[in-house]
Amino acid sequence: MRRYYVFTTIFIFIVIFISVNVHANVTYIKEGNNPPKIAKKNKKQTHRKNKNKYSLTSPPLSTTFHKVKKGDTLLSLSKKYSLSLSELKKINNLRSTKIRIGQKVLLKRSRAKTYTVKRGDNIWKIAKRFNIDVDELKDINDLKTDQLKPGLRILLEQKAELEKTKTHEASLLQADVGEDIEKISESEKYSLEKKVTLIAKKLLNIPYRFGGNNIHGIDCSAFVKKVYGLIEIDLPRSARAQFSEGTYVDKEDLSVGDLVFFRTYASFPSHVGIYLGNNLFIHASSRDKKVTIDSLETPYYLKRFIGGKKIIEEKDDKEKLDEKG
């Protein structure tokens, strides 16, 4: 009798289990329904379930960084957030794919316009974090030192009107300067060296602007390129590339019109000016925010000076060879 009750109980449980599962998968046909409609409805429900499941496991679009956990690799993060491995490395300034637990991996470039300095920060770390040139960051915030106080709020991009010359004044200045420079460049009484210095001085006090190349704002390499261009010597756009031109000159052998180079924010030549003689040079200065004249003996430039390049002599020699040929 006991066996009968046990068997009956098991049988009832089996029947209930089967009926529940069958009921869950049964689609009840209502009036007006037909097989195509039923199939379409089931497909939508399945898609909606899959979509919800995906959204739970996918990172929100607003995510800007991922905190590395045990088992994470840069490759797995690139797949998880649909970013290429090279893009992840570039965003985070990584040379290898090694990451450590607890590290914050950026998933997209920050669009912040300001940053509040935290303890342990310095100008170099902040510039690297936001992929900004150190001199540009100092220029934007009028900083004279690399040390920053915690709590200081700094700008990460140039204000639209910052250091901008008024349009009317700039137009008048451009007209006057252009006329004088044209007379100098066409004159036959000046040597090329003299023309370079005279033209460069005509551009004194033009506002400095990183990446600028006109009278409204100009940077160091654009200033040098423009001055030499006015005596028909074409130079590359960057200080680094300009350093590969001409003949190397030691400080003691510098002549008027030579280029002088400095290492400022990088290991390569990153700043350039034109030598005027008596240890003076003219350049577009991010520190003074304008084209100005400084001394090579100034501690800042003395420490960073790496040498000069003679450009004009190279051109004269080539012209002489062409005449002989």
Residue 211, beta-bridge partner list: none
For residue 227, how far is the Cα from the chain centroid? 27
For residue 113, how far is the Cα from the chain centroid? 14
Integer Cα distance of 117 and 112 in angstroms = 13
Q: Is 271 a catalytic residue?
A: yes
Question: Which amino acid does the sequence have at 283?
Answer: H
CA atoms within 13 A on the CB side of 203: 35
SS3 (DSSP) at 307: strand
Q: Active site residue: 47, 66, 168, 271, which one?
A: 271
Sign of the dihedral through C-alpha 193, 196, 201, 207:
negative
- Contact in structure between 284 and 206 (CB atoms under 8 Å): yes
Integer Cα distance of 231 and 180 in angstroms = 14
Q: Based on the number of CB atoms within 10 Å of its own CB, is 91 exposed (0-12), middle (13-18) or buried (19 or more)?
A: middle
Question: Phi-psi category of 232—alpha, beta or left, where left has phi over 0 and alpha has psi -120 to 50?
Answer: left
φ, ψ of residue 188 to 5 degrees: the values are -100, -5
Structure tokens at 59: 């990172």
| Nearest to 181, CA basis, from 234, 226, 148 | 226
Pairing of strands 247-249, 305-310: antiparallel
The catalytic residue positions are 220, 271, 283
